[in-house]
Amino acid sequence: MSEAQALFAVLRQSADADCAAALERLVREAPDRRLARINPLDLARREGLDEEKTIATLLHAAQIGLFEMSWNVLCPSCGGVLDTNTSLKSVRSEEYYCAFCAVSNEPTLDEMVEVGFTVSPRVRRIAAHNPEELPIWEYCRQVFWGTGADLPEDDFEAKMQQVTLDAVELPAGEKAILSLQLPAETIIVLEPVTHAAQFIDVKGEPTRDRQALTLVYTNLQAPAGTTELRPGPLRLSLENRSAGRVLPIVWVANDAMHRAVGKRRPFLTAKRLLSNQTFRDIYRTDTLDVDQRLKITSLTFLFTDLKGSTELYERVGDLVAFDLVREHFRTLNEIVATEGGAVVKTIGDAVMATFLTPDHALAAALRMRDAMRKLNDARGRDDLLLKIGIHEGPCLAVTLNERQDYFGQTVNLASRVQGLALTPSILATNSVVGNAQSASLLKAGGLTPAARQHALRGIASEMAVYEIP
């Protein structure tokens, strides 16, 4: 049995059978480019698989060494990879600059950090394991652009050449001269290895005189520059003073280029992975550095607590109460996971969970309430009375008490909203019930939230809190 076969045998013990089989086929049959930075959501779509199960399977596969996981900082404009990291710990909190788009952005985990999976060289060697040997256009497809770029599947090189004037591979220490005919359009000389870009604004009266421009590439990541030239001949001199090869590409920045490289598809964000239960179970303490603070622009927090748990222990005894509380935790964990969320932590009899969107948190809350009713009905008494509060907003991903956690006013408000709850009602803020998908969910259930003004610690004025009957 080969090492790959042995590892897949291990994977099948912990992962969904269909997902594991699809991954095994992919490793055995797919072209190299399909195994470099796999987009889990696109893989699920191609194979007709459940997204959450596909993500979980890839996480288990990475844990046992079948795949390597990468955390890539993206330009939100062009979808290019600005920084590649083997761990979220390496992602900086300061701004990242994209020379291709000439913009800087402070990273957020919502859409600027993607998670991709590359087959391990132990399992199968692919061209992307040696990116310095990839041809120009495959380097662009497999390294420069992230997994959210929906690039042409067939005839990729031919389609890229239709929107470029020229491209050249330039080894370290080498020089090249390109003779070009400039059209009256914006030209970008992009170098995808060093992320350097030179913009050429071509305008004015056409000329027959040969114009000249020299670009020098070094190991420093150069900012974008702009020069103005006239339509006509150009002698473009390129010099590589960096330690490795460079791949200058002369793009014509027009509608045809945007049609070729501007399409986007969903991808696995860092935000989504941090709210994935399988990820939290596998990578409990090895996610963020203690001093690291990374922004999330929108995350939904759900807090629960058992009402009267002290009285419960006194009424039914420690052993029975312990079994009841443990069953309550098991049920809540199950519901959170199936709604695409993750339990961040438990505090006594309380649970803190996160969800990508308000509607999933609300759906989980409604299911939790129904589940507690069923557990109580089975016992013939109301032993498990759950208080639930939900709030959505921005936050920071941090490490607290040696675990990946969240910090900020959104977290505080969610906890305080839960503190107002009286069973069996669910309390939520306007950012939750005002969400379009949440509103549809409530309407379908025939539920009408009732707003009440409450003073919450840390908030200057009263805010509306909605009770969901």
* Tens-place pLDDT, residues 321-369: 677 888 889 999 999 999 999 999 998 889 999 999 999 999 999 999 9
Report the pLDDT value the prediction gives residue 322, as an integer from 0 to 100.
79
Total-model pTM: 0.90
pLDDT of residue 381: 77
> Which pLDDT value is given to residue 308?
63
pLDDT at 424 (0 to 100): 80
| Residue 88: per-residue pLDDT | 92
Of residues 241, 129, 246, 259, the one with CA closest to residue 192: 246
Q: What would the mean pLDDT of 400-427 be, rounded to a whole number? A: 90
Bridge partner list, 214: 237
225 φ, ψ (degrees, to nearest 5) = -125, 160
Q: What average pLDDT score do residues 311-329 get?
A: 76
Quick one: pLDDT band at residue 285, thresholds 50, 70, 90?
A: low
Residue 304's SS3 state is strand
| Section 278-291 average pLDDT | 83
Tokens standing for 125?
């060697």
pLDDT reading at 223 higher than 80: no
* Confidence grade of residue 222 (pLDDT, cut at 50, 70, 90): low
Q: Given this model, what pLDDT does residue 376 score?
A: 83
- Across the strands, what pairs with 166? 250
Residues 147-156: pLDDT tens digits?
999 999 888 9
Distance CA 253, CA 67 (A): 36
413-425 per-position pLDDT tens digit = 999 999 998 878 8
Judge contact between 165 and 188, C-beta under 8 A. Answer: no
Mean pLDDT (the chain) is 92
Q: What is the pLDDT of residue 310?
A: 65
Confidence label for 1 from pLDDT (cuts 50, 70 and 90) = low
Return the pLDDT at 309: 65
Does pLDDT of 193 surpass 80? yes
**% of the chain residues with pLDDT over 90:** 75
pLDDT at 377: 85
Instruction: Identify whether the C-beta of residue 137 lies closer than 8 Å to the C-beta of residue 192.
Output: no
Q: Which CATH architecture has domain 3-127+265-270?
A: Orthogonal Bundle (1.10)
The CA distance from 66 to 43, in Å, is: 16
CATH superfamily of 286-468: Nucleotide cyclase, GGDEF domain (3.30.70.1230)
**Strand 342-347, strand 350-355: pairing:** antiparallel
**Residue 400 pLDDT exceeds 90:** no
Instruction: Decide if 173 contacts 240 (C-beta within 8 A).
Output: yes
Structure tokens at 9: 């045998």
Q: Where are the domains of the chain?
A: 3-127+265-270, 164-253, 286-468
Mean pLDDT of 16-37: 96
Strand runs (DSSP E) across 196-284, as ranges?
A: 196-202, 211-217, 225-229, 232-240, 249-252
Q: List the beta bridge partners of residue 227.
A: 200
Query: φ, ψ for residue 265 (rounded to 5)?
Result: -135, 160
Assess whether pLDDT exceeds 90 at residue 176: yes
Q: What mean pLDDT do residues 389-394 have?
A: 97
Least confident interval from 86-90, 340-344, 400-404, 464-468? 400-404
**What is the β-pairing status of strands 386-400 and 342-347?**
unpaired
All residues at 6 or more sequence positions from 311 whose CB lies less than 8 Å from its CB, including other chains: none
The residues, ordered by sequence, that sit 6+ positions from 463 with a Cβ below 8 Å of its Cβ are: 429, 430, 453, 454, 456
pLDDT per residue as tens digits for the range 121-158: 999 999 999 999 999 999 999 999 999 999 998 889 99
